[in-house]
Amino acid sequence: MSEDRESRIDIKRSDGEVLPPVGEESVSGRMFWSTGRGTVKVVRLGPLGALGVMLSIGLLLALGFMFLGGLLMLLLPLALIGGAGAYLANRFGVFNRLPR
C-alpha cells in the first residue's frame, strides 16, 4: 500500500500543457500562445539572431549616450556663463544687502 502511494505522480489540474502547432515539425522550437486578442509567437534565437539583437541594443544605448552627451555639451557653457556672472556679481557687490 505504501509503495503504491510513493509510485504515484502528483498532477496538478491547473497546470496547462503547451502543444506544438499541428503540421509543423521543426527543430527550431517554435511555440504559439493564443489569447482572445491575438497570437503570441515565441521563436528561439540562433547565434546570429542573438548577435543581431545584442548589436541593436548596443547601438540604441550608444545613440542615447551620445544624445545625453550632446545635451551636456549644450548646458556646460550656460552653466559656466551663469557661474561667471554669479562670481562677478559677488565680486562687485551688485546684490549686497548688508553694508560692509
Closest C-alpha to 23, from 15, 32, 14: 32
Report whether 41 contacts 32 (CB < 8 A). yes
Per-residue confidence band for 5, with pLDDT thresholds at 50, 70 and 90: low
Report whether 39 contacts 33 (CB < 8 A). yes
More confident residue, 29 or 34: 34
pLDDT at 42 (0 to 100): 73
Where residue 93 falls (left for φ over 0; alpha for ψ -120 to 50; beta otherwise) is: left
Residue found under cell 500543457: 17
Q: Is the pLDDT of residue 9 over 80?
A: no
Q: At 18, list the grid cell.
A: 503547451
